[in-house]
Structure 1
Amino acid sequence: MDPQLLAPGIRFAVTDRTGGVSPEPFDSRNLGGATADDYANVLRNRELTADQLGLAADRVVWMRQVHSAEVRRVDRPWGADAPPLDGVWTTEPGLALASLGADCAAVLLADPVARVVGAAHSGRAGTTAGIAAALVAAMAAGAGAEPGRMTALIGPAACGRCYEVPDAMRAEVAAELPEAWSTTSWGTPALDLPAAIAAQLTRAGVAEIRQDGRCTIESPELFSHRRSDPSGRFASYVWLAD
């Protein structure tokens, strides 16, 4: 979980389940405030995680994620008044942006020349709505970012071998995003959201696209709503180094 370099002067991290204070079934580093875990545990987990990443806990932006394509610029955390949205971006050094997940993918973006970073939460509905491309466009329009200079990271998510859906849903999503069409390892209809997100970013002109590659359903070190309900949430962070 140590911070890694996404682009020059820009760091990111993806948390795991361990190292927190939450009891079962949220054991132990649950960072999701919209779970049935005691919120005091979530706040303590967020503090511990920020400290481990070298961040100030009061300088982390958390979104009220609603599976939308809504994106906004931020220069400080919202606290308890976070609006409903699924993408944020900033030019503020040391202000970390966090995207929660437990099968949905985080999308982290960085333009090291424009000195701007962004984070999105891209589940099935958000991916279909185009949240990743909306974040690219917002960073370009608001901060002079250029997609050709951007580096993107697609975080852990339910993979196309495991994300089973009804046949009609697969057809509906694939009509908009052909790259999402998939089949589970046991032969039933599925969606490959990381592949669809990568295709969206490519069409938006993003130069470098990385993928964490881990499937949340197959990786016990990560939370997965499909594998275990109720479940906690892990987070993907991105920030401009001071």
Structure 2
Amino acid sequence: MSLLRHRDRIEGDLVIEVAFTDVSLSLGDAAADDVRADALRRVAQATGSTPVLMEQVHGAHVDVIDDRRASGAPRADAMITAQSGVSLLARAADCVPVLLADPATGWIAAVHSGRAGLVEGVVPATIAALREEGAEPGVAWIGPHVCGTCYEVPAEMQDEVAAVVPESRSTTSRGTPALDLGAGVRAQLAAAGITDVRLVGACTREDPTWPSNRRDGPAATRFAGVIWSHP
């Protein structure tokens, strides 16, 4: 099994590359520091870049990764950068990893959008942050995530989320209330005018080659969507 799966690239003045890590890398919250450091070292070797990992908090804060930024892991659910040779990682194990790129300017973004992030609008906030920097993200990648027939939730929670993002309302295979986070993210991308959306069609709960908190509980690790650029 390859370290990086579902690779894609866009060539221009800079080459922008995208991939998703496999389960051989331990990027979960419970991973020991040395294990996570080894995983990041392997990502660096595979991409030829310096990886940046977020301390994800299920919100909508967007961190700009540049030379002015303080050291340490960003406490955020989205990162943007225009620096080549830097890879941005968004971790997930049922939530939706979203990667964004503006090939014309080289600005890229990595976003972690779970249920809370969908409601808070982390994807629209990231697009707004890119536009504030003069970028116009035209391409988005949506990584593996729990599908709308597997993400069962209480009816009240479904109503709360669907009141903000109606496209997220779904039903399980048993006819019970559910949420489709991926459909919600796609609706937010469409509302922002992003039409080139590239989807990795896998449900993390159904496909054992991806980590899933719904399936494995606390034992679940995390994979990551990775985006980077280089000359």
Do residues 236 (structure 1) and 229 (structure 2) align?
no
Do residues 145 (structure 1) and 135 (structure 2) align?
yes
Asked if the contact 2:211–2:220 (Cα under 8 Å) also holds between the matched residues in 1, the reply is yes
Do residues 113 (structure 1) and 101 (structure 2) align?
no
CA distance in 2, matches of 1:83, 1:45: 18
* Residue deviations 1:69-99 (CA, integer Å, cap 9, x gap): 1112102697973232111111101100000
2:64 alignment partner in structure 1: 73
2:179 alignment partner in structure 1: 191
Taking a change above 3 Å as real, the CA distance of residues 160 and 77 of structure 1, as seen in their structure-2 partners, is farther
Which of 41, 49, 70 is the equivalent residue of 1:47? 41
CA RMSD between the two structures: 1.8
Asked if the contact 1:87–1:131 (Cα under 8 Å) also holds between the matched residues in 2, the reply is yes
CA distance in 2, matches of 1:199, 1:173: 13
TM-score (norm 1): 0.87
CA distance in 2, matches of 1:92, 1:78: 12
Number of residue-to-residue matches in the alignment: 224
Taking a change above 3 Å as real, the CA distance of residues 175 and 72 of structure 1, as seen in their structure-2 partners, is same
- Amino acid of the structure 1 residue aligned with 2:37: L
- Amino acid of the structure 2 residue aligned with 1:48: R
Asked if the contact 1:62–1:78 (Cα under 8 Å) also holds between the matched residues in 2, the reply is no
- Offset, 1:188: 1.0
- Offset, 1:3: 7.0
5+ residue gaps, structure 2, are none
- Offset, 1:38: 2.3
1:21 alignment partner in structure 2: none
- Amino acid of the structure 2 residue aligned with 1:71: V
Do residues 14 (structure 1) and 20 (structure 2) align?
yes
Do residues 165 (structure 1) and 153 (structure 2) align?
yes
Taking a change above 3 Å as real, the CA distance of residues 237 and 69 of structure 1, as seen in their structure-2 partners, is same
Taking a change above 3 Å as real, the CA distance of residues 49 and 60 of structure 1, as seen in their structure-2 partners, is closer
Do residues 134 (structure 1) and 125 (structure 2) align?
yes
- Offset, 1:16: 1.5
Tell me the secondary structure at the aligned position of residue 145 of structure 1: coil
Deviating 4+ runs (over 4 angstroms): 76-80
1:82 alignment partner in structure 2: 73
- Offset, 1:2: 5.0
Do residues 30 (structure 1) and 26 (structure 2) align?
yes
Asked if the contact 1:31–1:42 (Cα under 8 Å) also holds between the matched residues in 2, the reply is yes
- Amino acid of the structure 2 residue aligned with 1:55: G
- Offset, 1:6: 4.0
TM-score (norm 2): 0.91
CA distance in 2, matches of 1:226, 1:125: 16
Q: Percent same amino acid at aligned positions?
A: 42
Asked if the contact 2:97–2:225 (Cα under 8 Å) also holds between the matched residues in 1, the reply is yes
Do residues 175 (structure 1) and 163 (structure 2) align?
yes
2:8 alignment partner in structure 1: 5
Superposed, which structure 2 residues align to 1:219-234 within 5 Å?
219-229=207-217, 230-234=219-223
Asked if the contact 2:92–2:224 (Cα under 8 Å) also holds between the matched residues in 1, the reply is yes
Tell me the secondary structure at the aligned position of residue 226 of structure 1: helix
Counting strand residues as a fraction of each chain, which structure ranks higher? Answer: 2
